[in-house]
Amino acid sequence: MAALALVVLLAAVSMFYRIDASDEGVILRFGKKVDTAMPGLHWKLPWPIDKVYKVPVQRIQVMEFGFATQSAGRRTRYAETSKDDLGVAEMLTGDLNLGHVEWIVQYRVKDSGDYLFNVGGAEVAPWALMGGDDYEANPAVPDTIRDVSESAMRKLVGDSSIDYVLTIGRDQIAKDAETIIQQELDGFQAGVDIVTVKLQTTSPPTAKVQDAFQEVNRARQKKERVVNEAQGERNSKIPAARGAKDKAIAEAEGYQNRVVLETTGAVNAFLEQLIEYEKAPDVTRKRLYLEAMEKILRNVGNKTIIDDSVRGVVPLLDLNSDIDIPNTGEGR
């Protein structure tokens, strides 16, 4: 009688279960999926008729590679590096150097059914299905994510040089790893979304080599800084030089146009004079002579005119003298 009462009590207890806010319940009846349960308190048929698997569909889960976090907080504490961690983190690069790479993978369950039944099997203890403590619904999926992540990272690092891994290639390697891992898991229909892959540490494996690589990195950063400064100087000088060039070209074109117009006008004036000259050569020649003399005498300081027709006196007329010439009455 006591045994029957105990069985009834266990069955009654297994009929009630609670789904946390970040989880989704998958209900199986005799091994077949019949329903899903949202967060809250629910009931079901007693075990072993109904089984409930709790899948964390809303929680971002993190996997660490090459290191282990001992306690997270404002000042995160890490556990001492073990041989297993070193075995994961140390890998050979494409130029046959040894690199130490630590990274994390964040993922989220997107389909609880695929997560439970497509990779491995959802094998959990009976008391967990009856409403026990927290448990991993399908341990095969995290193991698969870990194996795929290590394989993808080793492939990418093995195809890259040590300088690329330690410096400019960190972000690109993380992006490529995220793509490869997601493609592999989608091929397995694991029901998982890779949220991000982030490289935590990339360094040479020993302290002496690490110092040498840091010195190289500092030299490379100095080179990039000098190049950037030179590029900035170039960018500031070139526009000014281009402006000066454009100004000189514009001034030259303006001078060219002015000279062409002036020359064209002079040619046209000469052609007009030629036409008049051909009509009356003597008159035109004399007019040109007088106009030329007028221009010349206008710029001459002292002027003395000599009259060849006058005889008996000095044939000079000083137009610049201020002395009054007396009127003698001769020649009236």
pLDDT classification of 213: cutoffs 50, 70, 90: low
Omega before 46 within 30 of 0, i.e. cis: no
| Most confident region among 198-207, 233-242, 300-309 by mean pLDDT | 233-242
| Average pLDDT for the chain | 82
For the CA atoms of the chain, what is the radius of gyration? Answer: 51
Give CA–CA dist 111/125, Å, rounded.
22
Structure tokens at 273: 């004079």
Structure tokens at 284: 């035109």
Which DSSP helix (H) or strand (E) runs through 257? helix 207-279
Give CA–CA dist 179/241, Å, rounded.
47
Extents of the domains making up the chain: 57-205, 281-318
> pLDDT tens, 248-304?
999 999 999 999 999 999 999 888 878 877 888 888 788 888 888 888 888 877 766
CATH superfamily membership of 57-205: Band 7 domain (3.30.479.30)
CA 283 from chain centre, in angstroms, equals 83
**In which residue are the tokens 């073990």 written?**
82
